[in-house]
């Protein structure tokens, strides 16, 4: 363990703990645009700077490990002025047409600009207005809103293992992009949308997010129904309709989703979706109530069981349900019918 002092408060931390993590432990909030749980620390945005006694330059707290006897100051005039300067530099190359931006209301750059009272920037734009890449079916990339935090690059490289994104050019010309100036549609991108989920600004946004503002939706935590992994996600609901999905920090997915979990929610409100059971009557599939449907199935199962025994019956459930659902189904088949004939890998 290491002994450190943060804003005069003594603390013991394990070796390898960063200053930012130690501050979080004490409940001291440090602003950051690039740091994110499960991604390697990068120190890209420089917003999280703090003063360390005995070191002349300010240190990025997200990428600086604590050392024995370290004394840290998290806020004073110098730190405040430096963070304001960082926000101004970021705003110089950031299209501030916030009115038309899907991230309006949850943009972290905007939030910090308000908090640090930065209303405009003294610096010139060196990036111009590069075109929006709207080639992906589910999301858009607007380089004019990118603040080069590298979150998208890291999530694609380190967690999705797809290596689609990277930093292009050097110095003031640096942009986040794809190799050989490819469009998303021409790249190896698998449209998982994890880069969109971690983007702190309106640079990467879902196409659907044009239809709602963050404060108009309620969030409902649920389990993705598409496979047995059981990823946790939040459904974004506006006026009783699901308009988007955000990954949650579930044990199975830790903030990630695949393309199905992130974008394939349209089945919920789709007009072709079956909403009632159907029984074939005189050759025609006819909508019926649940009581009638369950009575019909029970009578059919009873008849087969009486005529041919329980092993004449088999149950199929789906690999797309959760493990828990499949377990309950197996128990039900054994208890209610008396058979172990269960296949829960069916693609139904």
Q: Which helix (H) or strand (E) holds 107?
A: none
The answer to whether the CB of 228 falls within 8 A of the CB of 321 is yes
What is the smallest separation between the CB atom of 114 and ligand SF4, expressed in angstroms?
Answer: 18
* Contact window for ligand SF4 (CB under 6 A) among 46-54, 222-230, 284-292, 339-347: 222-230
What is the smallest separation between the CB atom of 82 and ligand SF4, expressed in angstroms?
Answer: 20
**In the bound complex, which residue of the shown chain has the CB atom lying closest to ligand SF4?**
261
Q: Which residues of 215-245 are buried (b: 16+ CB within 10 A; e: fewer)?
A: eebeeeeebbbbebbbbbbbbbbeeeebbbb
For residue 245, state whether it binds ligand SF4 (rule: CB under 6 A). Answer: no
Q: What is the DSSP letter of 313?
A: -
For residue 39, state whether it binds ligand SF4 (rule: CB under 6 A). Answer: no
Site string for ligand SF4, 119-158 (x = CB under 6 A): ---------------------------xxxxxxx--xx--
CA–CA distance, 296 with 342 (Å, rounded to integer): 21
End-to-end CA distance of the chain: 53
Q: Which residues of 175-195 are buried (b: 16+ CB within 10 A; e: fewer)?
A: bbbbeeeeebeebebebbbbb
Of residues 201, 205, 318, 326, which one binds ligand SF4 by CB under 6 A? 201
Reading the block at residue 279, the tokens are 């029984």
Q: Of the two residues 18 and 95, which places its CB atom closer to ligand SF4 in the complex?
A: 95
Of residues 62, 87, 113, 257, which one binds ligand SF4 by CB under 6 A? 257
Q: Of the two residues 23 and 204, which places its CB atom closer to ligand SF4 in the complex?
A: 204
For residue 72, state whether it binds ligand SF4 (rule: CB under 6 A). Answer: no
Site string for ligand SF4, 156-195 (x = CB under 6 A): x---x-x-xx----------x------------xxxxxxx
Q: Which residues have C-beta within 8 Å of that of residue 278, sequence separation ≥ 6?
A: 285, 286, 287, 288
Q: Which residues have C-beta within 8 Å of that of residue 294, sequence separation ≥ 6?
A: none
Of residues 66, 144, 224, 248, which one binds ligand SF4 by CB under 6 A? 224
- Three-state secondary structure call for residue 171: helix
Q: Of the two residues 73 and 157, which places its CB atom closer to ligand SF4 in the complex?
A: 157
In a 10 Å sphere around its CB, with 0-12 CB exposed, 13-18 middle and 19+ buried, how is residue 256 labelled? Answer: buried
- Of 231, 263, 234, 255, nearest in space to 246 by CA: 234
For residue 204, state whether it binds ligand SF4 (rule: CB under 6 A). Answer: yes
Q: Of the two residues 227 and 301, which places its CB atom closer to ligand SF4 in the complex?
A: 227
Q: Of the two residues 28 and 229, which places its CB atom closer to ligand SF4 in the complex?
A: 229
What is the smallest separation between the CB atom of 163 and ligand SF4, expressed in angstroms?
Answer: 8
What is the smallest separation between the CB atom of 40 and ligand SF4, expressed in angstroms?
Answer: 14
Count of residues that bind ligand SF4 according to CB under 6 A: 37
Got the DSSP string for 212-250? Answer: --GGG-EEEEEE-SSSTT--EEEEEEETTEEEEEEE---
- Of 216, 221, 163, 168, nearest in space to 194 by CA: 163
Of residues 41, 43, 261, 315, which one binds ligand SF4 by CB under 6 A? 261
CA–CA distance, 348 with 341 (Å, rounded to integer): 17
For residue 253, state whether it binds ligand SF4 (rule: CB under 6 A). Answer: yes
For residue 22, state whether it binds ligand SF4 (rule: CB under 6 A). Answer: no
Enumerate binding residues for ligand SF4 (CB under 6 A): 146-152, 155-156, 160, 162, 164-165, 176, 189-195, 198-199, 201, 203-204, 224, 226-227, 229-231, 253, 257-258, 260-261
């Amino acid at each position: 363990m290491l002994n450190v002092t943060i804003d005069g408060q003594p603390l013991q931390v394990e070796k390898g703990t960063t200053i930012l993590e130690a501050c979080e432990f004490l409940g001291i909030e440090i602003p950051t645009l690039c740091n994110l749980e499960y991604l390697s620390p990068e120190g890209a945005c420089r917003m999280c700077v703090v003063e360390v006694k005995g070191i002349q330059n300010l240190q990025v707290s997200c990428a600086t490990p604590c050392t024995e006897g370290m004394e840290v100051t998290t806020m004073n005039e110098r730190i405040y002025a430096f963070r304001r300067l960082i926000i101004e530099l970021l705003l110089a190359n950031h299209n501030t047409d916030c009115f038309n931006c899907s991230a309006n209301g949850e943009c972290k750059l905007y939030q910090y600009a308000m908090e640090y009272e930065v209303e405009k920037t003294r610096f010139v734009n060196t990036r111009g207005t590069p075109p929006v890449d709207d080639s992906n079916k589910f999301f858009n990339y607007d380089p004019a809103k990118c603040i080069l935090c590298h979150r998208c690059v890291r999530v694609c490289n380190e967690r999705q293992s797809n290596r689609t994104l990277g930093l292009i050019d050097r110095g003031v010309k640096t942009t986040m992009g794809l190799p050989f100036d490819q469009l998303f549609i021409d790249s190896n991108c698998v449209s998982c949308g994890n880069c969109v989920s971690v983007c702190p600004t309106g640079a990467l946004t879902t196409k659907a997010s044009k239809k709602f503002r963050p404060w108009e939706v309620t969030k409902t935590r649920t389990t993705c129904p598409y496979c047995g992994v059981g990823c946790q996600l939040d459904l974004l609901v506006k006026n009783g309709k699901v308009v988007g999905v955000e990954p949650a920090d579930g044990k199975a997915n830790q903030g990630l989703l695949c393309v199905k979990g992130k974008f394939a929610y349209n089945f919920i409100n789709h007009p072709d979706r079956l909403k009632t059971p159907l029984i074939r009557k005189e050759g025609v599939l006819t909508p019926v109530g649940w009581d009638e449907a369950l009575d019909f199935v029970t009578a059919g199962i009873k008849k087969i069981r009486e005529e041919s025994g329980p092993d004449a019956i088999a149950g199929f459930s789906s690999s797309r349900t959760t493990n828990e659902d499949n377990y309950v189904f197996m128990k039900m088949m054994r208890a209610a019918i008396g058979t172990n004939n269960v296949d829960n890998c069916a693609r139904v």
